[in-house]
Amino acid sequence: MKYIGHGGKEIVERVVSSPSEAKKRIKGLKRVAVTGRIARECINLAYGFFTPLEGFMNKENVESVCEKMSLTDGTLWSIPIVFDIESKEIKEKGIKEGDTILLVYRDKALATLEVEEIFSYDKVKMEQAVLGTADERHPGVRMLNKLKDTFIGGKITLVNIPKFNPPFDRFWYTPIRLREEYKKRGWKRIVAHQTRNVPHSGHEWLMKGAWFSANGELPVERLQTGILVNCIIGPKRIGDYIDEAIVLCHQKLHDARYFRDDIHMVSISLWDMRYAGPKEAIFHAILRENLGCTHHMFGRDHAGVGSFYDPYDAHRIFDQVPEGSLTIKPVRILEWWYCPVCGEVTYSGLCGHSKERQPFSGTMIRSMVQDKVRPTKLIFRPEVFDMVIECADKYGFGSPFCTEEYLAKRQPVFELSEL
Ligand SMILES: [Zn+2]
């Protein structure tokens, strides 16, 4: 069965079929150790999460993405996917265009990279184009500033299949497996929810509102619209919710039946957030198009950071996307809040009690979680609260938020075996 991804291209897996074939393939190759980001992006490239890309971008594509928000063939694309390396290492190892090199992650073989082009690119130009700023206070700028001085463009082939550790293993689906899953469930429309958070009622209602919007005119006797919660797993900052709490608390909303079993599922994707606001919203839409989603919800300040973007920039950028360049439809959502006059969680596009409203404050909820004070169930579901506390004890060394101890001692999300 063929599955079509972004740009109308087929989802292709670039994964070696067996360890014995992998061993043959990597024999004698020059080895280059890679960072977590590159390892995550290799896995994405190999399984088709980044369709139509089959490898790291060449210079023409990087330029085109920065200047025109598209690949050289005109396919919409908003964030450069680059392989960075020190020129010193290239010289020392004698890496040349035309070579194939072996990428090694935590001392284990991961993927081969066909060296098609070795080039450099102005990082500040990239920051301005993608993030709209070169200000060091922006975490995406700090990340790009850390890139090494030279880039390699070329195709990736995965030679070692990552094994996900619990609790992540049950949430890991490749784009092809996800599509098979939708077929089994009879879903015709799938609306994606991007998250790096433990869900409070504001998030729950964001998903519920988006479900109604995506379901539209479809009949409701037999539901055919599903919500795909897609948790982003990547580098953590001190104070972020721990990854285990994010996935297990979303699953808890399902298990405690705040969402019906037949309209909701939780999954993960590996991605290092750039916090690029509008440009990242476009990227998230592309990623979820490859996951087979038909709709993508965008709330307030999607993928933003600090006050670098207007809270609704990520909504507006979809008006600038040329028609036909995305098959996924954005579902643009304002704020859900608690209103004591309405006596319920309601929507800023509906409730007129703007003086009395009580917006969901992530900061307030975090401090309640920190102090183990159970918030009212209109704000935070008790089952989810219990799960946060359970995760703190089980995975977080006593805290549901990332600490130095967690970062140093946590079990990796995935591991590679010895080839
Ligand atoms: Zn009201």
Q: From ligand 1's centre to the CA of 192, what distance in Å?
A: 28
**Measured between alpha carbons, how far is residue 247 from residues 194, 207, 229, 313 in Å?**
12, 15, 9, 27
Is the model's pLDDT at 362 over the cut of 90? no
416 pLDDT exceeds 90?
Answer: yes
Q: What is the pLDDT of residues 367-379, one digit of tens each?
A: 888 898 898 898 9
Helix (H) or strand (E) holding 64: helix 59-68
Distance (angstroms) between ligand 1 centre and the Cα of 357 equals: 7
CA of 296 to the centre of ligand 1 (A): 27
- When pLDDT is cut at 50, 70 and 90, the band that residue 82 belongs to is very high
At 392-403, the pLDDT tens digits run 999 999 999 999
The structure's pTM equals 0.97
Q: What is the mean pLDDT of the chain?
A: 96
Q: What's the gap in Å between 343 CA and the centre of ligand 1?
A: 7
CA of 346 to the centre of ligand 1 (A): 7
**Ligand 1 center to residue 299 CA distance, Å?**
20
pLDDT > 90? residue 266: yes
How much is the pLDDT for 149? 97
Residue-level pLDDT at 256: 98
pLDDT score recorded for residue 278: 98
Ligand 1 centroid – CA 339 distance (Å): 5
- Helices H, strands E: what count in the chain? 14, 17
> Residue 385 Cα, ligand 1 centroid: separation in angstroms?
26
The predicted structure's pLDDT at residue 250? 98
- Residues 32-37 have a mean pLDDT of 98
Cα of 218 from ligand 1 centre, angstroms: 30
- Read off the pLDDT band of 341 (50, 70, 90): very high
Give which of 43, 37, 54 is closest to 161, Cα–Cα: 43
Nearest-5° angle of CA 225, CA 228, CA 231? Answer: 170
Ligand 1 centroid – CA 272 distance (Å): 38
Cα 345 to ligand 1 centre (Å)? 8
Is the pLDDT at 363 greater than 90? The verdict is no
Question: What's the distance, CA 57 to chain centroid?
Answer: 19
pLDDT per position as a tens digit, 171-182: 999 999 999 999
- Distance from the CA of 211 to the center of ligand 1, in angstroms? 22
Q: How do residues 62-72 score in pLDDT, each as one tens digit?
A: 999 999 999 99
C-alpha–C-alpha distance, residues 138 and 282, integer Å: 19
Give distance in angstroms: CA of 356 to centre of ligand 1. 7
Task: Calculate how far, in angstroms, residue 335's C-alpha sits from the geometric centre of ligand 1.
Answer: 13
Distance 373 CA to ligand 1 centre (A): 26
- The arithmetic mean of pLDDT across residues 337-365, rounded, is 93
Residue 200 CA to ligand 1 center (angstroms) comes to 19
Q: Tell me the CA distances in angstroms from 201 to 82, 164, 191, 197, 207, one per residue in order.
A: 37, 29, 18, 12, 10
pLDDT above 70 coverage of the chain, percent:
100
Q: How far is the CA of 342 from the centre of ligand 1 (A)?
A: 4
Residue 1: which pLDDT band, with cuts at 50, 70 and 90?
confident
Instruction: Look up residue 30 and give its two tokens.
Output: 């020059």
Q: Is 279 in a helix, a strand, or coil?
A: helix
Q: Which residues have beta carbons under 5 A from ligand 1 (an ion)? A: 339, 341-342, 351, 353
- Read off the pLDDT of each residue in 229-244 and give the average, rounded to a whole number: 96
Q: What is the CA(361)–ligand 1 centre distance, in A?
A: 17
In angstroms, what is the span from residue 355 Cα to ligand 1's centroid? Answer: 9
pLDDT of residue 361 exceeding 90, the answer is no
The string of pLDDT tens digits covering residues 300-317 is 999 999 999 999 999 999
